[in-house]
Structure 1
Amino acid sequence: MEKRLHTFFESGVLDKYILDETSASECLKAELYIDTYPEVKSEYLRLQSNLEILAKADAVEAPKFILDAILNNVEQDTNPVIQMNKSHRRTPWYSIAASIVALLFAGASYMMYDQNQELLIENQAVVDEIFDLRSDIAINNQKLDDLMLQFMKLNNPETEKYVFRGNARAKNLKTVAYINTVDKTSMIDVVSLPQLGEDQFYEVWAQMEEDLVSLGIIDPSERKMQALPYMENALGLSIRIGSRKNGITNSNEEPVAQIALKSKNN
């Protein structure tokens, strides 16, 4: 809406409307915006006030001798005032007919104006829908670009594919990791994860030379590629079941799936 109001103010239609220099369509547009948007109405009142101030500032006061001359002429005028007799003639029928036609024309004009206002509002609603549609298209295009980027990464010859298969504690677990040591990127694709308890979660760990490093929690509901931090010189990856009890997070469980990563020297 801010962009639409900015475009309207920049068009100069409101300034032309104040100066009575607008066309019929511009006049309707200005009146619609004044009635619809408080910001436009406030700016309209401000411009109108400024115009009145300028008009008063440029006004030239009539010389006092002119008023004195007019009063002297009135006092010197001795012509009697002729009293006009009131006419009691009936109003001609064509005057009545003309009045009726004028009323009908006024009513038709008001109906056309009202319909035109409704049409302008409908047109504005269509414009708003077009803006929303363009926004949705931009979002969808961004999603397509992200998917294309992921597809290119997966089909990169330097990308290695690793399949996690669950052990006896998570028989239906199956996820796929994609790691590119050249671009230094890693992703994980959730294929299937067994249901856990309310306070449990799946967490990915990287096995380093001396310790384990957490790479984050897997979201089971996210059925798309999830990015993982890339760990240089990681020896392997594992998926473990963590738990939250009494506000304490415990992730020291044994892995339910693990893989060994290929060495650069291999």
Structure 2
Amino acid sequence: MMNSDYIEENNLLEQFVLGNLNAEEQVVVERAVMNDPALKKKLHSIEETFEQLAKENAVSPPPIVKEQLFGQIRTKKSKVIPLADSSVKRIYFYAASAVAACLLLGSFWMYTQWSETTQQLEIVQQTNEQLIEDVNILTTNMDATTDLVAMINSPETEQYILEGNDLAPDAKIISYINHTNKAVVINAKKLPPLSEDEDYQMWADVDGEMIDMGLIIKDTPILAMNYIDSAESLNITIEPAGGSDHPTVSRLISNVYLR
């Protein structure tokens, strides 16, 4: 029978969010979520994690495009105003002057066109280079996101939720541990902000000894932490900026025992 335990153990919530279930399985999971508040809470946590992964891979359009729009060719037409004169010589003189002026203006116009064309070619080249760089960044981000989703969705991955204590009652950290791949990923989106002089730090308890798993970088919701073999529990403390060699036990805000 597909009960709540079966759904969690077989990662059906992750499959549900990704749309990988058939119609019958989807209906069963929906009913289970409606009747089980804990299951519903876990589903929301998974949805938030996937949503954050998607937001982190947005790519802004190249700024050079704006410059290109303002670099359009602008030309001004000059009018020659004839001057009345009864002298034929003066007419010839003005005519010659007008021709010379036209030649000068034509030369200047051709130089301006050449200069602007050269600038436009440079802009196109810069735009192409920027687009190539953006594509490479997007590809790298997509690969990283694919790896994270695969890790979270793996049947071998265990999920643990660390709830905050009285020191940080609003804190909530979702951790994903895969012992086969020796990987740890956390969603720290719901950690309260700290001052510039403080940092969150994660620890693994191994036979009573706290081993550093790394700092939880500010304003970075999805993080890969150091995997520690034989860890019995995960612990999070508030430490001075830059972290500590040993945890400040009095500032422990959350912990969870591993299965």
Q: In structure 2, do the counterparts of structure 1 residues 169 and 101 end up closer, same or farther at CA, with 3 Å as the change threshold?
A: closer
Aligned to 2:167: 169
CA distance in 2 between partners of 1:127 and 1:221 (Å): 35
Aligned to 2:224: 227
1:251 paired residue among 239, 247, 251? 247
CA distance in 1 between partners of 2:258 and 2:175 (Å): 10
Q: In structure 2, do the counterparts of structure 1 residues 182 and 249 end up closer, same or farther at CA, with 3 Å as the change threshold?
A: closer
Q: Which has the larger radius of gyration?
A: 1
Aligned residue type for 1:232 = D
1:155, distance to aligned residue in structure 2 (A): 0.7
1:116, distance to aligned residue in structure 2 (A): 2.1
1:149 paired residue among 142, 147, 151? 147
Tell me the secondary structure at the aligned position of residue 249 of structure 2.
coil
Tell me the secondary structure at the aligned position of residue 186 of structure 2.
strand
Aligned pairs (5 A) from 1:1-266: 104-105=102-103, 107-223=105-221, 225-243=222-240, 251-254=247-250, 255-262=252-259
Q: How many residues align?
A: 168
- Gap runs ≥5 in structure 1: 1-90
Aligned residue type for 2:248 = N
- Gap runs ≥5 in structure 2: 1-88
CA deviations 1:182-239 (Å, max 9, x no partner) are 111111111312344443322111000141111112123112x211111111111111
CA distance in 2 between partners of 1:123 and 1:148 (Å): 37
CA distance in 1 between partners of 2:142 and 2:120 (Å): 33
Higher relative contact order (CA 8 A, sep 6+): 2
Question: TM-score, with normalisation over the residues of structure 2?
Answer: 0.56
Tell me the secondary structure at the aligned position of residue 228 of structure 2.
coil
Aligned residue type for 1:162 = Y
Question: TM-score, with normalisation over the residues of structure 1?
Answer: 0.54
CA deviations 1:37-56 (Å, max 9, x no partner) are xxxxxxxxxxxxxxxxxxxx
Aligned residue type for 2:235 = S
Q: In structure 2, do the counterparts of structure 1 residues 120 and 243 end up closer, same or farther at CA, with 3 Å as the change threshold?
A: closer
CA distance in 2 between partners of 1:161 and 1:259 (Å): 11
Identical aligned residues as a percent: 29
Q: In structure 2, do the counterparts of structure 1 residues 98 and 168 end up closer, same or farther at CA, with 3 Å as the change threshold?
A: closer
Superposition RMSD on alpha carbons, in Å? 3.0
